[in-house]
Each structure stands twice: as C-alpha cells, then as structure tokens.
Chains A and B, each alone.
Chain A
C-alpha cells in the first residue's frame, strides 16, 4: 500500500512551457485534491475531484487544468508556465469530505524561470 504517490519530485520549467504533474493513490479514495504551498505559507486548494469524471475548481485554479478518468489518478496540467506558479504542489486523497482525514503525497517542487 503506497498511499499517495507523485511524480516528478522536482522540475524546472521555462516560462511558457507546459507540463503534467502526476498523482496516483491506491486506497480507493473517491476524493482527491491538488494544493500548492508557497514559501512560509499554508496550502491553498487548486482543484478537487469527488469521483471519476467529476472535477471542480478550488481557491486558486487559474493557469491549471485537471482530469479524473480513473479513481486512482488525478493529474494536474500546467499550461504556459509563469514564475507565479513556482511552488510546491501536493496531491491528497480522502475517503470522504467530512469524517476521514486527507492523506498527502510527498510533493512536487516546481521552479519556473
């Protein structure tokens, strides 16, 4: 049981490039989330999904896209990377939205220059 896994661990992008951050969970959780954490700050929600085929925007969705074709995978797409997207990105999953805790992946550290 690996929990929540994320790839890559680190990435440097040039302004205007695109990339996909991968997230996979093996706990059969319906709920999945993408957060970003800027230095010295708490985490902010980018997108979330309550099940395969269902996604919705969080607090800071601009510049990102997601898809959820399976229960296990929840990739985050960055189009036209900007320096403001330099951050650490965390994927999380949960069995439900209220009773059970969220489990987090190890994060992807992204730098846009």
Chain B
C-alpha cells in the first residue's frame, strides 16, 4: 500500500532563506507527483505537477524534483517571503481509481519577517 511521508511536519525560517521541503513515498510505481499549497481554512492550490518520466519542474521561485527510484521528491523555495507561509502538501497518483491522489500529512511553513 502506497504511503506518503513529509518531513519535517513544521518549519520556521527567516525571510530570504532558501529552503527545501521533503516528500517520500513507498511505491515507485507512480504516474505523477503534485505539490500543493494550503492556506489556513482554504482549499488546495496546485503548485507543480511532475510526470513520472520527468526529473523536475520549475515555476518562479519554486523547483520540484522527483527521484522515482529512491521514492523521493523535494520542493525547493528560493528567497522565501512571509507570503510563502502555508502548509505544503505532496501527493502521488498511481493512475488507478481515476487518478486518485495519495497525500502526505503536509509541512507547515512559517517565514518570519
């Protein structure tokens, strides 16, 4: 059974720091991996989607990498800002059950001014 783990559960950094969020999964037979942002009391916003055949995706200050063989993904945030404070969730799709996503528990990020 696929399990997704995110470490750390919470992270606090000063503004301007570059940081890395980690996501690991137990079964490498995935179709894609998505990173989401969730603000308190809000829905999820898709940040990046990496297909299983890809190694990384970039959007602005965000870069996500995928290493299927080791079951790991990282989300790199450059020059962090207070507005980046949120919970970041990673999720994998195995392609079955309509492409259902299996989520990690999230990393709560706080960027201090």
Interface, chain A (partner B; CB < 8 A): 4, 31, 33, 35, 40-45, 48-50, 56, 58-59, 90, 92, 94, 96-107
Cβ 8 A contact of B97, one of A58, A92, A101, A104: A58
Bound CA–CA A74/B100 (angstroms): 16
Separation in Å of the A89 CB from the closest CB of chain B?
A: 11
Task: Report if B49 contacts A (CB, 8 A).
Answer: yes
Q: Do A102 and B46 touch (CB < 8 A)?
A: yes
Bound CA–CA A40/B67 (angstroms): 26
Cβ 8 A contact of A104, one of B44, B49, B105: B44
Separation in Å of the A8 CB from the closest CB of chain B?
A: 14
List B contacts of A107 (CB < 8 A). 42-43
Interface, chain B (partner A; CB < 8 A): 4, 31-32, 34, 36, 42-46, 49, 51, 89, 91, 93, 95, 97-106
Bound CA–CA A109/B34 (angstroms): 24
Q: Is the contact region of chain B dominated by helix, strand, or loop, or is it mixed?
A: strand
Q: Do A94 and B43 touch (CB < 8 A)?
A: no
Residue of B nearest to A48 (CB): B98
List A contacts of B106 (CB < 8 A). 42
28 A-B contacts, Cβ less than 8 Å apart? Answer: A42-B4, A42-B102, A42-B104, A42-B106, A43-B44, A43-B89, A43-B91, A43-B101, A44-B103, A45-B100, A56-B97, A58-B97, A58-B100, A59-B100, A90-B43, A92-B44, A97-B93, A97-B95, A98-B31, A98-B32, A98-B51, A98-B95, A100-B49, A102-B46, A102-B101, A104-B45, A106-B42, A106-B43
